[in-house]
Amino acid sequence: MQRFIALIVALLFALGSATAATASDGVAFEAELHHFSPPVGICVDGVCDFESHGYGFTNLMGPVTVDVEFTWDFTTTPCSTLDPLVFTLVGATGSVTVSGSGVVCDGLSPSGFPQFFSGTGQVTGGAGEFSGISGRVSAQGILARGPILHMSGSVAY
């Protein structure tokens, strides 16, 4: 009986240590995105479909280029909305796509500037080293003289 218990304990220990890195385990994801080009696109009745390009750095990918496509609705109040909002980050070993939405609100100065961004997103896919990546992120930033965004969350890949 003692051998049977010892075998069960050894088996449970081995199985427990073999499952240390499963898809459900979260890894911190942090990104600073900046130097975006002016948005380019078309607007109809205060709703604009834009694209922009920038640069950044992430804790998992190192330096990245950033492509962002978004619909900016200037008719909503008190903050304008960005929905959908799709970021594609491309690094040396792969890419990550984040799909989400957000708002742009005026600052508290009399002029309303600088404006502030806040949003949430789902990591919807990747390529290369990040194939199969998933997770959730939130983002905050400032839209003065070129947007600077900070993205943080948890991913699994």
Could you give the dihedral angle defined by the CA atoms of residues 118, 122, 126 and 132, in that order, rounded to the nearest 10 degrees? 150
Question: 7-66, pLDDT tens digit by residue?
Answer: 333 333 333 333 344 444 699 999 999 999 999 999 999 999 999 999 999 999 999 999
Topology annotation, domain 25-156: AOC barrel-like (2.40.480)
H or E element at residue 97: strand 94-105
Domains of the chain, residue spans: 25-156
Question: 74-108, pLDDT tens digit by residue?
Answer: 999 999 999 999 999 999 999 999 999 999 999 98
The residue among 104, 119, 105 whose CA lies nearest residue 72 is: 104
Query: What's the token pair of residue 101?
Result: 């939405």
